[in-house]
Chain A
């Protein structure tokens, strides 16, 4: 199996104001896939479509090589899920939740579950309704991990957690991944959160997939280029993607680009434009510029251009 998750041409309309449109997404098996997007862009809706909690109006979904909805139970048996909101039965104790959850998964590792309980500093007798936000998050992750899944789907797992809890969650996650070579699909609106461990990234905005590429490329390919401005130069045909351009005082122009490689400086040379400086675009800045360019294209067609 080369693909853990595959969505093709997915359409779903939640309301008149918002819809998922022609979503095509592939998560390679064994990848640590970060699903990025601002709040309200459709990440959770996409995850719900992926897990069969919503039925798409068009398109197909394959989860661990099983077509949905027919193969859903089989796929879910090998998928650990941490949804965006706690979904546990609040009147249970931690121990009860483990026993109940474990009864449904043949691969459940009870020994490891008890070990993780200790690492997460959770007590079996604690009632779930009395757990803090961080403790609840840890418990949900514990339940997902101890199923020994091939695929982990995490919807904003670190949202609202303090740094200590975040570290615990991340450590457990990476530990599991390294042991089992599992695929991880994690959504977040925090770029830096995903940057640390994901090797693939997909960016979503307003119900559409903006871009899907290796994290290395996403991280390193975003640059800010300062150019000596001459006559206006059109970026058509450029080997990189222009995200934004900014005219500054004097004869200087700054371009934000994606997909930059050092040899591309020659393209400017051929046009008689001097490249004054190439700096790395901060990941978050790169993300913001990416979204801005995407929105501009879908609104009017032109790359945003600002003046100072």
Chain B
């Protein structure tokens, strides 16, 4: 069943996977080649530019996750999930098959990024004081992609009812936030929630931090 599902999803998404893989391959190479001016006094600026390029890795992971998750579920959503519901497996198992097959679609993108990172670092004459992290960076990208894909997958797989409940909860939270601000202007609930999500041990904490292909 998993093989059949992988084939099904590949048929639906192969053009998206190829495009994203090309972008993933190019990203490390471009990030390094645009800033590299050899060793010496250019290195600090190169590292600062590489830090800025580092923002593109979590962004790329987010775009890949959202686009693929939406593409995976598009056909089912169009058919109101009737085909899925008529298959002789429990619903959760079907969703799990979709998820695992979806991970298979992420692999080419991760692999492309890894190849790009290896090419980018191999093309430079690395001075002392600098270290290369093509494997570590790729692993971080893969794990970030796993998390973001899970979130996007859940949203895309959710029933209308679940999405409706989610939006209503969000609306309720915003209403509470406004009420709290009116009572105590110094309290910002939204900021607190965002902070909790974006700082350790929140899920988005690792998306910040250093995404340096080459570092000191």
Contacts and interface: CB of A to CB of B under 8 A. Distances in A.
Interface of A: 51-53, 73-74, 76-78, 81, 83, 87-92, 96, 99-100, 103-105
A91 B75 contact: yes
A51 to B, nearest CB: 7
A103 B83 contact: no
A90 B79 CA distance: 10
A103 B101 CA distance: 14
A198 B82 CA distance: 27
Interface of B: 1, 3-5, 7-8, 11-12, 75, 79, 82-83, 85-90
Contacts of A83: 82, 86
B87 A76 contact: yes
7 contacts: A88-B83, A89-B12, A89-B75, A91-B75, A100-B8, A103-B1, A103-B3
> For chain A, what secondary structure do more than half of its interface residues adopt (helix, strand, loop), or is it mixed?
loop
A53 B82 contact: yes
Q: Is the interface of B mostly helix, strand, loop or mixed?
A: helix
Contacts of B90: 73
Given A89-B8, A91-B12, A100-B8, A73 B89 contact: yes
Contacts of A87: 79, 82-83, 86
B86 A51 contact: yes
A63 to B, nearest CB: 12
A105 B82 contact: no
B86 A76 contact: yes
Given A99-B7, A103-B4, A77 B88 contact: yes
Contacts of A77: 88
B188 to A, nearest CB: 42
A100 B82 contact: no
A133 to B, nearest CB: 17
Contacts of B75: 89-91
B3 A104 contact: no
Contacts of B8: 89, 92, 96, 100
A96 B5 CA distance: 11
B86 to A, nearest CB: 5
A52 B84 CA distance: 12
B86 A81 contact: yes
A78 B88 CA distance: 8
A52 B1 CA distance: 22
B10 to A, nearest CB: 10
Given A76-B87, A91-B12, A104 B82 contact: no
Nearest to B87: A104
A141 to B, nearest CB: 14
Contacts of B4: 99-100, 103-104
Contacts of A53: 82, 85-86
A78 B1 CA distance: 17
A220 to B, nearest CB: 37
A143 to B, nearest CB: 10
Contacts of B86: 51, 53, 76, 81, 83, 87
B85 A52 contact: yes
A100 B7 contact: yes
B82 A92 contact: no
B11 A91 contact: yes
A52 B89 CA distance: 12
Nearest to A97: B8
Nearest to A89: B75
